[in-house]
Amino acid sequence: MTGPRVAGVGMTPFGKHESRTARDLFAAAAQEAIADAGVEHAAVEEVRFGNFMGEFAEGQGHMGPLAAEAAGVHAPSTRIESACASSGAAVRQGVMLVQSGQADVVLVGGAERMTNLSTADATEALAAAADAVWEVRPGMTFPGAYALMTQAYFAQYGGTSEDLAHIAVKNHANAVENDLAQFQRAIDVEDALEAPTVCSPFGLYDCSPISDGASAAVLVSEEYAAEHDLDAPVAITGSGQGTDSLALQARVSLTQTTATERAAAAAYEEAGIGPRDVDVAEVHDCFTHAEVLALEGLGFYDPGTAIEAAREGETTADGDLPVNLSGGLKAKGHPVGATGSAQISELTKLLEGRHVNSDAVSDSPGTVGLTHNAGGTVASAVVHVLEVVA
């Protein structure tokens, strides 16, 4: 048993999709994933769909049925909402369905429409991921919350805006050739440092953009893949989720992400690996500093050291541990409910040698990739371990 196989993936370009609804976007991603998997629509037994702000953007809840309709399948379909980790959590529900033998073929994914909202309305919608009583009412926004966590980190460990700029530069560089990315252009450290301030220490290039987009994956059991002779060399060998207090004030620390640590511990245990075994990772860089927190929470770096690793280039495409080869949330874009399953889509292609940045990754059996998707100020975290098994 190696775990559920990623039989097929699909993803719309991330960016501005004038006048396309979330369901339209998901239809494109889901049809691509089903075709890529080579399974019949009728074979899909369950659908788990991530969406965060449909109520705000389109007045639309209850998107489970819409997702199934968009995919052209008649299976039970449930919307999973875990803020920006919505589709990571949807993938996890799908993984558990296949792992447990309750389904052989599951469609997972997510979609988000955001650019039809004004910046103020999008900021308000995103704030629903924080604690409405203890954080949002006093005026907290997400750039503010992450900036607070960053300032605490700088105070505890040191670090500068210039250090963070290296992360933005790296992720933009990774996106240059990725046709699905929102920003296919390189920036340099000066661009980042000279950009308008959003919320100190964050400038514009420290922040992921407002995006529209959808992503999907078809997960199948190992037995199903074998019986139907599917070309599905990547298995999900570990899946973990962690939950922390929603409000920052209730956390033990502002520089440590307990939910990520819990999710990683569970995923590593299931996969039978440790952080040193990971060859490539897609992590949740909604802000540059979020990538620092992720790399430490995942155990790749000791607390307080990942910011230096960024400065030293250890996580670039030709570094020891390539991180966010897709361009990350920063440059690929961040249609929030689609981000977690987009990580699965991009990482699967990277591991299968069919991504524009696959040169940075081996597609040989034993190569290990990891995805990390976070919700809110990491009150929710979902980690998946993917491995080339054939």
Which active-site residues does the annotation give?
84, 334
**CA-only gyration radius of the chain, Å:** 19
Taking CB under 8 A as the binding criterion, the range among 59-67, 104-112, 195-203, 208-216 that sits at the site for its own copies is: 59-67
Q: Which helix (H) or strand (E) holds 96?
A: helix 86-99
Q: With binding defined as CB under 8 A, does residue 151 bind its own copies? A: no
Q: How far apart are CA 308 and CA 347, in angstroms?
A: 25
- Give the residue, chosen from 74, 194, 320, 365, that forms a contact with its own copies under the rule CB under 8 A: 74
Q: With binding defined as CB under 8 A, does residue 123 bind its own copies? A: no
Q: With binding defined as CB under 8 A, does residue 42 bind its own copies? A: no
Q: With binding defined as CB under 8 A, does residue 93 bind its own copies? A: yes
CA–centroid distance for 227 within its chain: 31
Q: Rank residues 343 and 367 by Cβ distance to its own copies and give the closer one.
A: 343
- Give the residue, chosen from 31, 243, 305, 358, that forms a contact with its own copies under the rule CB under 8 A: 243
Site for its own copies in 163-222 (CB under 8 A): none
Cβ neighbours of residue 359 under 8 Å, at least 6 residues apart? none
Beta bridge partners of 15: 212
Q: With binding defined as CB under 8 A, does residue 390 bind its own copies? A: no
Cβ atoms within 10 Å of 61's Cβ, excluding its own: 12
Q: Rank residues 21 and 161 by Cβ distance to its own copies and give the closer one.
A: 21
Q: With binding defined as CB under 8 A, does residue 375 bind its own copies? A: yes
Q: With binding defined as CB under 8 A, does residue 58 bind its own copies? A: yes
- Give the residue, chosen from 31, 41, 69, 204, that forms a contact with its own copies under the rule CB under 8 A: 69
Q: How far apart are CA 23 and CA 205, in angstroms?
A: 30
- Give the residue, chosen from 27, 47, 210, 351, that forms a contact with its own copies under the rule CB under 8 A: 47
Residue with tokens 């000066």: 190
Taking CB under 8 A as the binding criterion, the range among 97-105, 167-175, 196-204, 210-218 that sits at the site for its own copies is: 97-105
Q: Rank residues 96 and 152 by Cβ distance to its own copies and give the closer one.
A: 96
Beta bridge partners of 215: 11, 110
Q: How far apart are CA 383 and CA 390, in angstroms?
A: 22
Taking CB under 8 A as the binding criterion, the range among 155-163, 182-190, 235-243, 357-365 that sits at the site for its own copies is: 235-243
* Closest to 87 measured CA to CA, from 2, 173, 213, 198: 213
Shortest distance (Å) from residue 169 CB to its own copies? 31
Site for its own copies in 262-291 (CB under 8 A): 262-263
How many angstroms separate the Cα of 164 from the Cα of each of 84, 249, 284, 308, 331?
21, 24, 15, 9, 14
Q: How far apart are CA 337 and CA 128, in angstroms?
A: 13
Taking CB under 8 A as the binding criterion, the range among 54-62, 186-194, 222-230, 311-319 that sits at the site for its own copies is: 54-62
Is residue 327 within 8 A of residue 171, CB to CB? The reply is yes
Residue 210 burial (10 A CB sphere; 0-12, 13-18, 19+) = buried
- Give the residue, chosen from 242, 322, 335, 369, that forms a contact with its own copies under the rule CB under 8 A: 242
Cβ neighbours of residue 115 under 8 Å, at least 6 residues apart? 16, 17, 18, 210, 211, 212
Taking CB under 8 A as the binding criterion, the range among 81-89, 229-237, 316-324, 356-364 that sits at the site for its own copies is: 81-89
Is residue 106 within 8 A of residue 218, CB to CB? The reply is yes
- Give the residue, chosen from 1, 19, 101, 302, that forms a contact with its own copies under the rule CB under 8 A: 101
Which parts of this chain interact with its own copies (CB under 8 A)? 21, 47, 52-56, 58-66, 68-69, 74-83, 89, 93, 96-97, 99-102, 124, 127-133, 136, 240-246, 250, 262-263, 375-376, 379-380
